[in-house]
């Protein structure tokens, strides 16, 4: 104990023997670790948001369907034994909430555009217990079935653009907003030429802005101008054409009562939400005919275990977990920790070269001293321990500082979020949020600390081997 204390003390003092050199290595390790922590935090933020969106907006924990509906989204492929199934779910302590959906594929048309959409008929109260989509409503673009008239529909921002329910108008209110946000007079005056002009899509208004504003103005105010110009034609009519239960083609119009933006373009461009009673009514479906049940389980419930229970109890019903329904998010959840460690591993591997080089120089400069230590009776184990501890201290000082700095950066950006709005479309088309809130867990730091210690040990092997191979007589004769 006493001996190791002395070795620790010498090793620590040796780190500061050449403070400038040590500080350079420490700074490199610190910056590398900060970058690693921040990158991992950013990835975790993204993955967490993706998983949250997958579970609470897109697919829930578990989705139940008639297996035939998965192959053919026919209106007749409703869930069999729905009464017994809902009884089972009502009684199961594992189930937090569930929501029954009627789903009908339909062609949506307005006077300006058309697209195919999946109409999701929902029970408002139950749906809010399962899905957080009601939190993703676009500001100033209506509401999630509040204050609606007959046959309301909530569509996505993407669909609104496709069906031209959304347009871009730079009116006097929008200009006032921009001025209040700090837009200089000479820039806002250029926008007067666009007063009350209507643009059907984002590309059109952006093209026009490029003609009247400088590149610098576009880069500074472009996104904000487009944002304040967004205009939704609420209560406008969308006509849906679909087949009813009897195989008859019918048209039914719904009026836009709200617009959502989930952050996943693929989900947004295919889904629209209407009230189940409206949809069932026009499609001729009975009160117990549903195509899908999405359900959330209580915290700590084994989802795969509950899936097996359902499959056992209802062999004719398809039960798929969120990991199966959103395999990208599922895969991320499985391998997330592995990805973080890979990132940190690469960074530490690169840093190890710098550490080894520094330690090699330190050993070379202390050849005579090491020779003396071996001559007076310091055994190989102690020499090795001293060099290893020295390397670990050097690495740990930088790593701890880097982890603290990285944690601080993650803490701040986790609060403010990082906005990748300039590349939002690209991210959202892959289902990744454009605004990310980095996050990091204590277990990640534990893993990084282990990796840093391991890097220190591995980096010390080469210089320590060099020291151990020294002959004390030759070392004492050296000039260093």
- The residues binding another protein (CB under 8 A) are 2-3, 5-6, 9-10, 13-14, 16-17, 368-369, 372-380, 382, 472-473, 476
Q: Least separation, in Å, of the C-beta of 376 and another protein? A: 5
Q: Least separation, in Å, of the C-beta of 3 and another protein? A: 6
4 or 241: whose CB is closer to another protein?
4
CB atoms within 10 A of CB 84: 11
Q: Return d(Cα 452, Cα 349) in angstroms, integer.
A: 10
Cβ proximity of 151 and 255 under 8 Å: yes
Which tokens belong to 323? Answer: 């990991």
Nearest to 114 by CA among 268, 239, 230: 239
Cβ proximity of 475 and 395 under 8 Å: no
Sign of the C-alpha dihedral computed for residues 111, 116, 117 and 119 taken in this order: positive
Sign of the C-alpha dihedral computed for residues 457, 463, 469 and 474 taken in this order: negative
42 or 470: whose CB is closer to another protein?
470
Q: Least separation, in Å, of the C-beta of 354 and another protein? A: 22
18 or 171: whose CB is closer to another protein?
18
Q: Least separation, in Å, of the C-beta of 380 and another protein? A: 8
Task: Kindly calculate the radius of gyration of the chain based on its CA atoms and give it in whole angstroms.
Answer: 31
246 or 480: whose CB is closer to another protein?
480
Q: Return d(Cα 63, Cα 76) in angstroms, integer.
A: 18
What contacts 201, CB < 8 A, 6 or more positions away? 161, 164, 167, 168
Q: Return d(Cα 61, Cα 333) in angstroms, integer.
A: 14
Q: Least separation, in Å, of the C-beta of 379 and another protein? A: 5
315 or 377: whose CB is closer to another protein?
377
CB atoms within 10 A of CB 364: 14
Q: Least separation, in Å, of the C-beta of 434 and another protein? A: 53
Q: Least separation, in Å, of the C-beta of 387 and another protein? A: 14
159 or 358: whose CB is closer to another protein?
358
Q: Return d(Cα 94, Cα 266) in angstroms, integer.
A: 30
Q: How many CA atoms lie within 13 A of 377 on its CB side?
A: 1
43 or 394: whose CB is closer to another protein?
394
214 or 379: whose CB is closer to another protein?
379
Q: Least separation, in Å, of the C-beta of 14 and another protein? A: 6
């Amino acid at each position: 104990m006493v001996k190791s204390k002395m070795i620790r003390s010498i090793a620590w003092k040796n780190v500061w023997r050449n403070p400038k050199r040590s500080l350079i290595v420490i700074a490199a390790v610190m910056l590398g670790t900060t970058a690693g922590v921040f990158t991992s935090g950013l990835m975790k933020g993204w993955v967490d948001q993706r998983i949250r969106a997958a579970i609470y907006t897109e697919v829930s924990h578990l989705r139940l369907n008639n297996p035939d509906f998965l192959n053919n989204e026919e209106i007749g492929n409703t869930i069999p034994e729905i009464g017994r199934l809902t009884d089972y779910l009502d009684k199961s302590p594992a189930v937090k909430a569930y929501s029954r959906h009627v789903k009908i594929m339909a062609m949506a048309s307005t006077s300006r555009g058309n697209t195919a959409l999946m109409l999701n008929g929902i029970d408002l109260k139950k749906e809010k217990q399962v899905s957080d989509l009601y939190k993703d409503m676009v500001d100033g673009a209506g509401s999630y079935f509040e204050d609606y008239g007959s046959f309301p529909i909530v569509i996505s921002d993407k669909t609104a653009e496709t069906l031209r329910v959304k347009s871009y108008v730079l009116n006097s209110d929008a200009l006032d907003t921009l001025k209040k946000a700090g837009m200089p007079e000479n820039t806002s005056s250029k926008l007067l030429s666009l007063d009350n002009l209507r643009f059907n899509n984002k590309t059109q208004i952006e093209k026009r802005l490029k003609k009247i504003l400088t590149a610098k103005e576009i880069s500074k105010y472009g996104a904000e101008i487009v944002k304040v110009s967004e205009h939704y034609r609420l209560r406008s009519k969308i006509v849906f054409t679909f087949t009813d239960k009897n195989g008859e083609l019918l048209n039914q119009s719904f009026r836009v009562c709200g617009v959502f933006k989930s952050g996943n373009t693929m989900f947004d461009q295919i889904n629209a939400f209407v009230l189940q009673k409206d949809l069932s009514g026009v499609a001729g479906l009975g009160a117990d005919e549903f195509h899908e049940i999405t359900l959330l389980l209580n915290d700590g419930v084994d989802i795969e275990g509950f899936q097996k229970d359902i499959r056992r109890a209802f062999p004719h019903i398809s039960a798929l977990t969120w990991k199966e329904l959103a395999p990208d998010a599922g895969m991320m959840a499985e391998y997330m920790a592995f990805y973080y460690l890979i990132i940190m591993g690469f960074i530490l591997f690169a840093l190890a070269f710098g550490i080894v080089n520094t330690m090699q120089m330190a050993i070379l400069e202390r050849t005579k001293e090491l020779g003396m230590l071996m001559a007076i009776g310091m055994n190989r184990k102690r020499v090795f321990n001293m060099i290893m501890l020295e390397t670990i201290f050097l690495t740990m000082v930088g790593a701890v500082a880097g982890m603290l700095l990285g944690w601080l950066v993650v803490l701040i950006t986790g609060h403010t979020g990082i906005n990748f709005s300039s590349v939002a479309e690209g991210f959202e088309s892959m289902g990744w949020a454009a605004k990310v809130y980095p996050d990091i867990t204590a277990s990640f730091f534990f893993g990084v600390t282990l990796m840093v210690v391991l890097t220190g040990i591995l980096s010390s092997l080469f210089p320590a081997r060099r020291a151990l191979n020294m002959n004390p007589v030759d070392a004492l004769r050296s000039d260093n």
